[in-house]
Amino acid sequence: MANKKKNKKNDSGAAEAAAGCCGLVIFGLVGLALLGSCDAIPEPKSHPKPSHTATHSPSPSRKPSKTAEKLPSQVGKGLDDAQDAAETAGLTVEPYDASGLDNDPTDFPGDWKVCFHKQTGVTARFGAVYKGATCPHKPRTSSPKMPSVKGKSLADARHILHGKGFPDSYIDESTAYTDEESDPVGEWTVCSQDVKSGDDLDLEPIVGLDVVRPGDTCPSGDGVHYRNPANDPFNSGGGSSSGGGDSSDGGSTSGGSTGGDHYNPGGCPPGGCDNSRHCPPGGCTS
């Protein structure tokens, strides 16, 4: 009987031991399962951090543009002063002849004035005319034509030619009578012009005008004319003057006559020719 109890007790202890072992095994299996599930969770991907030393270079098709200072209007100023102001501002200067005469303003910029000013980026374009000339309403792209100024006062003729780009220094005014010593003034009358009306002026560096005093009659024909026939070395006397001068040596005052029989309209005035428009072809020989 005692042995049965002892065996029963032993069996109970063995059962408890076995149950404990089973518990440990189950706990171990659960732990392994949990560890396996943790290993199955993917780790987050790491992204490379941007480098702080990286630089961004501009696209090859985009070049940095040079900034330019905005130049105040130079209209009305001398071209030389306008050029200095533009170059000081770091601009490239492009002057041109706004009168259409195709002259080069860069030769003597001090003789020119600015009529038009346009700035594009770092380039300043100055449309200029000679000082003393009148600015056109807009830059001319072709040569102006010679106007007819015959019969007009010298003052009006000058004003018209100023508008074509010619200052006074490029207008050659001569008395129509060789023996007239007075300098022409504004109220004198234009008798002839050496550039034909309608001709292009870009080929004419100077425009010549022959003028007479107010009230005088213009001489007729080409060549040399004398207000007083006595001053004509080719006049033997008895001739008349070609204008409103006083009579001399029996001559009468009349408009347009050429003097005596020996008058040579292409002859040389005393002292030689002082104006090519009054000289015979080939120049003076006596």
179-211 residue pLDDT tens: 887 889 889 999 999 999 999 998 888 999 999
Residue 58 lies in a domain: no
Q: How confident is the model at residue 227 (pLDDT cuts 50, 70, 90)?
A: confident
Contact 275, 175 (CB under 8 A): no
Count of structural domains within the chain: 3
Count of residues making up the chain: 286
Contact 79, 110 (CB under 8 A): yes
CB 161 within 8 A of CB 149: yes
Last residue of a domain, one of 96, 130, 164: 130
Residue 247 within any structural domain of the chain: yes
Distance of CA 67 to the CA centre of its chain: 21
Task: Indicate if 212 and 236 belong to the same structural domain.
Answer: no
Strand partners, 173: 209
Is the full-model pTM beyond 0.75?
A: no
The CATH number of whichever domain residue 184 belongs to comes to: 3.30.10.20
- Between strands 207-212 and 253-254, the pairing is unpaired
Is 189 in the same domain as 231?
no
* Residue 42 falls inside a structural domain: no
Residue type, 156: D
Beta bridge partners of residue 133, listed in sequence order: 131
Which are the contacts of 111, defined by CB distance < 8 A and separation ≥ 6?
A: 130, 131
Band (pLDDT 50/70/90 cuts) for residue 284 is: low
| Secondary structure letter of residue 109 according to DSSP | G
Within this chain, do residues 154 and 201 fall inside the same structural domain, yes or no? yes
Cβ–Cβ under 8 Å, residues 48 and 54: no
For residues 198 and 150, state if they share a domain.
yes
Mean pLDDT of 236-241: 49
**Residue that has been written with the tokens 């072992």 in this structure:** 21
Under 8 Å between Cβ of 143 and 101: yes
Report yes or no on 68 lying in a domain: no
Q: Is 39 helix (H, G, I), strand (E, B) or coil?
A: helix
Measured CA distances, 286 to 225, 238, 281 (Å): 17, 23, 13
Q: How many CB atoms lie within 10 A of CB 10?
A: 10
Of the chain, the percentage scoring pLDDT greater than 90 comes to 48
Residue 118 in any domain: the answer is yes
255 and 209 within one domain:
no
- With beta carbons less than 8 A apart as the criterion, state whether 103 and 118 touch: no
Mean pLDDT computed over every residue of the chain:
73
Is residue 103 a part of any domain in this protein? yes
Let me know if residue 273 belongs to a domain: no
Rounded CA gap, 271 and 250, in Å? Answer: 26
31-82 tens-digit pLDDT: 444 444 444 445 545 544 444 444 444 444 334 345 678 999 999 999 999 9
> Do residues 96 and 125 share a domain?
yes
Q: Is position 64 within any domain? A: no
Q: Which residue segment(s) compose the domain that 190 sits in?
A: 143-216
pLDDT(167) > 80 = yes
DSSP-based three-state secondary structure for 261: coil
